[in-house]
Amino acid sequence: MREKIEQLMKKIEEFNAGTPQHLEEFRIRILGKKGELTEMFDEFKNVAAEQKREIGKLLNEVKITVQEKLKSQKELFDNVETGKNIADKTLPANADSLGSRHPISLAKNEILEIFTRLGFTVADGPEIEDDWHVFSALNFPPNHPARDMQDTFFIEQNPDILLRTHTSSIQVRTMEKQKPPIRVVCPGRVFRNEAISARAHCIFHQVEGLYIDKNVSFADMKQTLLYFAREMFGENTEIRLRPSFFPFTEPSAEMDVSCKICGGKGCNICKYTGWLEVLGCGIVDPNVLESCGIDSKEYTGFAFGMGVERLAMLKWQVKDLRLYFENDVRFLEQFQSAI
């Protein structure tokens, strides 16, 4: 009888039900009125007295084993029917790689965070714009080169509609809707008809700023931009303003920051000048204020604009602008620690 018990135990341990019906048939075959285990318990009364203790223990072990097997198999089928997760939670977790924010997003967010600490709010506007908000309201003359198709993407069906070439259009919309004082930063994607290279792209990102109030001076602009530069590039950063020209500001300037790589001594990054150009700025032209319905005799202001890709290249020493748009995981993984 011992041999029959061992054979039954092996059969139970190796059993795996394919369907609930298969499991029920197995239960009846083992535990039913005429089941194999039931018949063994009937035979147990004929076992010799000296073997009853040992055989009885074996029969009880078989009974417990078959009950546990039936229970575990039934739970598997119940979990499948109810959609429960039956994954083995004792297995090691998958070593999934962590993502990161795009370097352009990191740089843009840092720029916005610095200016919001100065009281600037973030404004937004459409990427598809009209001639008024992109050019005319900003004092661009009719024959300005930016109006040529070689520089700007126009919508063929309507030459008055174009992809914005700068986020200054958001400044115009803000001045049309809001009375001074105005203090906004305008981030966004812009488009220019340029050949793609290591230092240029037809799509890039800008952050422009505008501050209009009574008695706003060039000195206010300089101190604002000096604060920004030191927050962005380090507390020892110096700035210089070089005279320039923009249709919408007068006077206008280009702002450079001292090269943090060489400390202003000169290196290949700054072309051995000790300075890096980062943005353009100036006092808002009175014609622009009047075009947007603001009294230029009562209010003055300053504006500035910077390319996010340019600042990101300087901050992280990226030498090829195209890397920002190729989504190469090997490149993007380098910015996980910058989050």
pLDDT in tens, 185-221: 999 999 998 888 887 889 999 999 999 999 999 999 9
Q: 36-40, 47-51, 107-111, 261-265: lowest mean pLDDT where? A: 261-265
Binning the chain into helix, strand and coil, the percentages to the nearest 5 are 45, 20, 35
Q: What is the pLDDT of residue 133?
A: 93
Q: What is the pLDDT of residue 300?
A: 96
Picking from 181, 198, 200, the residue whose alpha carbon sits closest to that of residue 190 is 200
- Tell me the CATH number of domain 103-338, given options 3.30.930.10, 3.40.190.10, 3.40.50.720, 1.10.275.10: 3.30.930.10
- Cis before 126? omega within 30: no
Domain ranges within the chain, ordered by starting residue: 2-82, 103-338
pLDDT for residue 41 is more than 90: no
Instruction: Decide: helix, strand or coil at residue 318.
Output: coil
Q: What is the pLDDT of residue 81?
A: 58
Strand order in the sheet with 239-246: 121-122, 182-191, 203-213, 300-307, 275-284, 249-258, 239-246
User: For residue 204, which phi and psi values (nearest 5 degrees)?
Assistant: -155, 180
Cα gap 133→140, rounded to integer Å: 11
Q: Report, as an integer, the average pLDDT of 313-322.
A: 84
Token pair, residue 277, equals 């150009």
Token pair, residue 208, equals 């422009």
